Each structure stands twice: as C-alpha cells, then as structure tokens.
A and B are shown apart, each in its own frame.
Chain A
Amino acid sequence: MSADRAPIDRLPSDRLDRFRELLERSDAALVLTAMAAFYVLFLGIGAILNYDLAGLISILGQVTFFTTVYALVVLALNLHWGYAGLFNIGIAGFMAVGVYTMAMLTAPPTGSPPGLGLPISVGIVGGMLGAALIGLVTALPALRLRADYLAIVTVAISEIIRLTYNSPAFSTFTLPGGIALGTGGANGIGDFPSNPVRAIYFTDPGSAASGTTPIGTAVFGFFETVFGVFRSAVIVDLTYGLVLVVVVFLVYTLLARVGNSPFGRVLKAIREDEVVAKSLGKDTNRFKIKTFMLGCALMGLAGIVWQGFGTGAVYPQAFRPELTFYIFIAVIIGGAGSNTGSVLGGAVFANLLFLLPQYLPNIIEQTFAIEADPNNFIAAVGPIAAGEIAPLFGYVLNQRLPALRFVFVGVLLVYLMQNRPEGLLGHRTETAAAVDLSEGHTPGAATQPDPTAPGNETGGGDDE
C-alpha cells in the first residue's frame, strides 16, 4: 500500500503502524482501503486476462455494483439483526416484494405482463412501501415468537411470496376497475422501465440509438478521446455504480443516525435483554415493528436497485432462499451490530466470494491450458490412477466451480460461527450514554454501562 514506497528505509514500519492506527480509528479509511484493494485486485485480474480499457472499466463497474447492492441489503439486515436482534431469514421475499411492486407499478400497460405505467419515482416509493407493508403483516404476529420460530416463519413467508409470484394464477389478472396487471408467473417481468441513469446520457432512456443528450455527448466524447473507450454501456454501468455509492452512503448515514438516537439505544437494549427494556417502560413490540418495517423497506429498495435496475428483468427464481443466506453470511463476515462492518462484509462477500470465483476458471485455464472436460465425477477421478490429474481439474473448473463455491461458503459460515461469531467488526464498544465517556482512555475509570453485554467487548474505540 502507500507506505511501501517510503523514501527512507527505516520509516516504513513506523508508517505502517500509523496507517493501522488510522484504520482502527476511522471507518471511512477502513472501507476506502478495502475498496481500493478490491479495485486493484480486479484490475489485476483484468490485466491477466488481457482486457482492453473498456473491459477494465467494465470490471470496475461490476465491482462497484455488487459491492453497493450487497452493502445496501446487508445494512438493512443489520438493522434487524444487529440492532434489534430480530432473526429475519426472509430477506429474499422482502426484496422480491419491493422489486415486483415497483415493476408492476411502472411497467407499460401495453407490455406483457401489463403494468400500470406510473413514473419510476412512484414505483420506487411504492416498492419500498409494499415491502414495509408485508414486513408489518409479518411482524405484527411473528414478533411475539421466540427467535428460532421467527426464523422459520420468515423463511416460510419468503417462500410463500416467491411461490405466489411464480404461480401462473397471477401471471396476468384484472383489478376491479378493469385495469390489467400481472406478475408474469415463472417468466417474471421483462418489460421494465429502463435504468433512470440512462436518462442522463440518452434522449430516450429506452434505447441507446436514440441519440445522446448534451451531457452524454460530452462524457462519451471525453472517454473516446482520452481513453479510446467507445462502448457507452460501460460508462452507463459505471455511472449507475456511482449513483449506488451515493445511495449506500445515504442509507448508512440514516442508519447511523437511527442507531445513535434514543430509538437506537432502545433497540440495542431489546437485543441484549428485552425484559430489561420492558421494565424501563419501553413498548418493545412497537419498537420492533417499526424497526422491522424500516428494514424491510430498505430490503425492498435493495431489491429494486439490484434485480430491478441492475439486472433489468425480474423473475421469481432470483429470490430463492440462497439469496437470503448470502446476505446472512455477508453480515456475519462483517459482524452483526456494526454498520461499517456491514458495508465491509458486503464488500468482502460480493468481491471475494461472489465475483472472484466467476473469473477464477478463466485465469487458471489461461495459465495452465486445461483441455479435459469430463462430464461426470467418475470420468474425472478415474484417470488419476493412470497419473492424469488434468481431468479432475477440468471437471472442477468447467463443471462444478459454482457448486464448490457454495460448499466453501457453507464451510466458511461454520468456521465463523465456531471461531469468530462476532465477525470482522461485530459489536464494538457501543456508548449507551449520550456523551462519549471513553474520552481519556482511562481503563477502569468509566463505569461499564452495559452489564448484560457479552464479555467480548473491548474498551475504548469509537462508536459507529
């Protein structure tokens, strides 16, 4: 990193120390360093694969997109689980409600399936409200349940939602007023309003051939002359990624404010000991329902920006429970209870566990030139007796890498639960007082305000 090229040889360790201190103290520095490392990593991958400049920019756009969408939904889950201790494993369902509601509100009435043709802004707000509403319906009765029952109920509701969208029964239906509407059944909704970012560059956001706006002409011209990049799609994706960065920043700020408000302190009290919170006169159920609805709305938003504008089509198979568990693993990697940890966990999962395995086979094949491509396991291991190991590699790389990624993710989850259940940044010191008591870093001087917290808290440090 930056300290590597220090002019004087004795200084690096000193600078490294200072850098490490900066990382420990500043959340922004931590996230920015991690992202810089991921960008360098994927630029390196692009270079190994001999991508041209457009390809490299495209990779950067992909890294930004997946990092931000994961960060967004992990932040939402952290509000549920990290702050209020609500064990929601129906995330995919709430994301589906958000994006489906948005799609049904904004799809053109002439499309197949038909929509209501409302503006995108109405669709986004409607999608978030829809997800929050389903969250309310789930939360009203389910929050009385034990944590593990809540888990089973939420996963069942998420499956009910997915099967409902998947069902041919609602693929098109008519509202009482004679307005046709539909979910598209198993095929989903493809007639989708195009990404609003495109409106910046194209006069008609629906088609790239329509001609460019003044901004579009200027930006595309700049990229053509300076970098020799002619693919406008790459630039649109990159812009969308930057918009998402802003969205994540806004959501992060919102959640940080919520977490530090009196409301957030009640949530943490509920997480640690609900009876205590109740005995202090807090209506814990009301707090839990509000939190659940806010988190669900954010999950709906994440669904919209991810599956909706990111993928450009929505279909029920995208919302299988696997998606929920991805998000869960990301929140556990980051550490439940920490917003910075959520962003970081989302980034680590999206880049190292989701994107990287997609590039891995290409890199390995380019390096080792593996020709063999057996189509079953026996054909892959059989030749090992004859000293040939290539078929096994070919089988793993060409046929079964996605499956092995899932196996790895599962093993990682078990490892984390056994050895580091608090994640990278989980449950750091949380100030229960309105003023910062950890000012002077005097050990033992500040009374521990939270006797119910688990023993792994470390003194000092900053609040999130």
Chain B
Amino acid sequence: MEPYARGRRLVREQPGLVIVAAVALLLVADLFAKLLGGGLTPARFGGFVWDGLVIGLLIGLAGIGLSLTYSILGFANFAHGDYISWGAFSGWAVAYLLAGIDRYAAGGLLLIGAGNGPAPGDVGVSITNTPLSIVAGLVVAVAFTVGVSLAVDRFVYRPIRSADGITLLIASIGVAFALRYLIVFFFYSGRQGVTDISRVPSYDLGGVVINAHELTIVVVGLALMVGVHLLLQRTKLGKAMRAMADNRALAQVTGIPVEGVIRTTWILGGGLAGAAGYLVVLTQGTIAYDLGWLLLLLIFAAVIMGGIGSVYGAIVGGLVIGLASRLSLIWLTGDLSSFAEPVAFGLMIFVLLFRPEGIFGGVSTA
C-alpha cells in the first residue's frame, strides 16, 4: 500500500503538480494518437525533433556559462545574452572578412554588410564553400567573448564582488544595455542575412532534411561539451569550482584561489557563450543585435530546469527547452505557432513553481 499512500499525499500536497503531470501525459498520448492515426507524419515529427535538438544544443552550450556564474558568483547575469550577441558579431565579422577579402573592401566586410556593404549572396559564406573562414570566425568569437567577459568582470563585477545578488543582477542589466547597443553603434540595428543559404548542401534522412550547417553545429557543440566535461572531471578545477559554489568563504580558507577560479569561470562561460552565439547565426542564417537577448530567457529556463550550478543539468535543460519549443508546434498550428516561445517560458515557470531546485534536484557544480 506504500506507493498508493505516496500518491495520495502528492495529490493533497501538490495538486498543481498533479494537474501539470496529467496534462503532460495527455499530450504524450495525443502525440502517439497523431503519429499512429496519420495526423502527423514521422518525417514531420522527425523534423521537429531535429530542429529542437539543434537549438537545444545551442541553448545548453550557452547555458553552461550562465549556470556556472550563477552558482559561483551568486547572481543571475542578465548580460549573458549580450555576450552571446558579441560572440556572433565578432566571429562573423572575421568570417566575412576572410571569405570576401579577395573581392571586396575590408571595411564593409568587417561590418558584416552594414550600410550598403557586400550582400551575403555575393560573399558566399558557408561551411562547404568557405570552411576555413567559418572555423577562424568560431575561434575569434570564442576569444573575443572571453575578452569581453573578463573585462566586464574586472570593471563591473569585481568592485562589487561582496554585494548581494540583486545589486549584481541590476548591474548586469546595465552591462546588458551597454553591450547590446554598442553592437548597434558599430554595426546595425536591423536583422540581416549572413550566410549564403543557397550554397548550403542538405541531406535527406528518411524524410528529415538536415543541412550541413546544422550538422556543423551538432558536431562542434558536442565537441565543446565533451571538452568541458573533461576539463571539469580530469582537472582540479572542477573540484575547486564545486567547492566555490558550495561555500566561498570555506573554499578561500582551504587555499583555493578564489579570484583565479572566478576568472576561469568567466573564461569558460564567456567562451561557450561566444561559440553559441556564433553557431546560432550559422543555423538561423541571419544576425541581429538582440539575438542573444531573445535567447536569454530560454537559456534561463534551461539553467533553472537543470538546476543552477549543474553543467550537465544545463545541457539537458537546454535540450528539453529546445525540444519543447519545437514539439509544441505539433499542436500550435497556424496563427498559434507564435506561441512556441511562450510555451518554453511557461515550462520554466512551472519548474520554478514546483521544483525550484531543478528537475535533477539540487546537484551543484559539475
């Protein structure tokens, strides 16, 4: 009778959770009904899953940094989205420059086509056409964003390191504003095309169309995640970070160089954010000054879902959020498709309400 009693207690103590679970079960049942009844072709379903995985991988990648800084420095960094945007702009400026330097003036290329610069179709950036420039751009995106996040930490967060989380959060909103509109100052405020979509080969896997850029994202994203895993598991750093997240004062008296760990956290988090921003543009094909901000709430959703401080939680949370926002399109058809993002936000709110420690339950760093 034990499980029965537990079930009754759950209904009594958390009726909201039971309702949410019931709705989730209903949706899964409806999904199977649709798949079996032919209302949803497997190819279409596979397409949603693939899209969700690609965007979820990027959200997870960006979320690792946010999760680490959240737990180690103790504040929600609202500027994280704009690190992502700077990663995208710095990386693509270089990718553009290298891809078109033999035909166009360097200025227009460096500004990614700002003010009548060369058009994406003419520059022809794509992974198969100009693979070297894409790779160089990725490296620059990572390096530049690491620089930005270290500089911001030095001049903004370090002077108020001991302040409470809300003070730091508000300061990070200021940083977000400054960084976002510096992009507008140097580049532009609209959304512009970047990659040459016509020259991206795509492959048909049983009806699911996968293009080379999405494949690149998955390969690079997985490689970076494995790298982070090795870094945290095979070095003393992971242990130091865990200790820092748990109790900073205690970590300090045991001789862990606190500022050093914080710097490493920013390097790791900033670099991954920059890479994620660069890769987001690769899948979307367009670049905009607020692309990181638009992703930030989804990233928060992933990080909270995975449990703040948990690297693997952030990755899984990112995949869940990515899949949820894309799979919701199975039901949200026509005019309702604009609700894919609110679905992800709603999911985050539910997690915060019913399981604020994350779905994996309070696992801290790594």
B330 within 8 A of A: no
Taking A157-B349, A167-B339 as contacts, is the C-beta distance between A417 and B167 under 8 angstroms? Answer: yes
B264 within 8 A of A: no
B312 within 8 A of A: no
Cβ A376 vs Cβ B111 within 8 A: yes
**Band of interface residues on A:** 35 or more
Which of the listed residues A157, A168, A377 has the most CB atoms from chain B within 10 Å of its own CB? A377
Interface stretch (choices A19-27, A248-256, A403-411): A403-411
The contact of A400 among B159, B171, B184, B342, by CB within 8 Å, is B184
Cβ B177 vs Cβ A159 within 8 A: no
Cβ A403 vs Cβ B300 within 8 A: no
Cβ B174 vs Cβ A417 within 8 A: yes
Question: Please, which residue of chain A has its CB at the minimum distance from the CB of B353?
Answer: A141
Taking A159-B345, A407-B185 as contacts, is the C-beta distance between A148 and B177 under 8 angstroms? Answer: no
The contact of A378 among B108, B168, B181, by CB within 8 Å, is B108
Instruction: Tell me the chain B residues, 121-179 only, with Cβ under 8 Å from chain A.
Output: 156, 159-160, 163, 165-171, 173-179
CB distance from A396 to the nearest CB of B (A): 8
Instruction: Tell me the chain A residues, 174-210 only, with Cβ under 8 Å from chain B.
Output: none
Cβ A407 vs Cβ B173 within 8 A: no
Task: Provide the residues of chain A in CB contact with B171, threshold 8 Å.
Answer: 413-414, 417-418
B295 within 8 A of A: no
B98 within 8 A of A: no
Q: How far is the CA of A167 from the CA of B178 in the complex (A)?
A: 30
A437 within 8 A of B: no
Number of A-B contacts (CB under 8 A): 154
CB distance from B334 to the nearest CB of A (A): 8
Which of the listed residues B170, B297, B346, B353 has the most CB atoms from chain A within 10 Å of its own CB? B170
Cβ B338 vs Cβ A166 within 8 A: yes
**B328-339 contact mask (Cβ, 8 Å, vs A): 1 or 0:** 000000111011
Taking A332-B170, A414-B156 as contacts, is the C-beta distance between A148 and B182 under 8 angstroms? Answer: no
Taking A382-B107, A411-B178, A413-B171 as contacts, is the C-beta distance between A376 and B115 under 8 angstroms? Answer: yes
The contact of A410 among B16, B108, B177, B353, by CB within 8 Å, is B177
Cβ A155 vs Cβ B174 within 8 A: no
Question: Please, which residue of chain B has its CB at the minimum distance from the CB of A404?
Answer: B185
Q: How far is the CA of A159 from the CA of B174 in the complex (A)?
A: 19
Which residues of A are at the interface with B, using a C-beta cutoff of 8 A?
A: 87, 141-142, 144-149, 151-153, 155-157, 159-160, 163-164, 166-169, 171, 321, 325, 328, 332, 374-379, 382, 400, 403-407, 409-414, 417-418, 421
3 interchain residue pairs of minimum CB distance: A413-B174, A410-B177, A376-B115
User: Contacts A332-B170, A375-B115 given; 5 further ones with Cβ under 8 A?
Assistant: A147-B165, A149-B304, A163-B339, A403-B182, A414-B178
Which residues of B are at the interface with A, using a C-beta cutoff of 8 A?
A: 16, 75-76, 107-108, 110-111, 114-117, 156, 159-160, 163, 165-171, 173-182, 184-189, 293, 297, 300-301, 304, 334-336, 338-339, 341-342, 345-346, 348-349, 352-353, 356
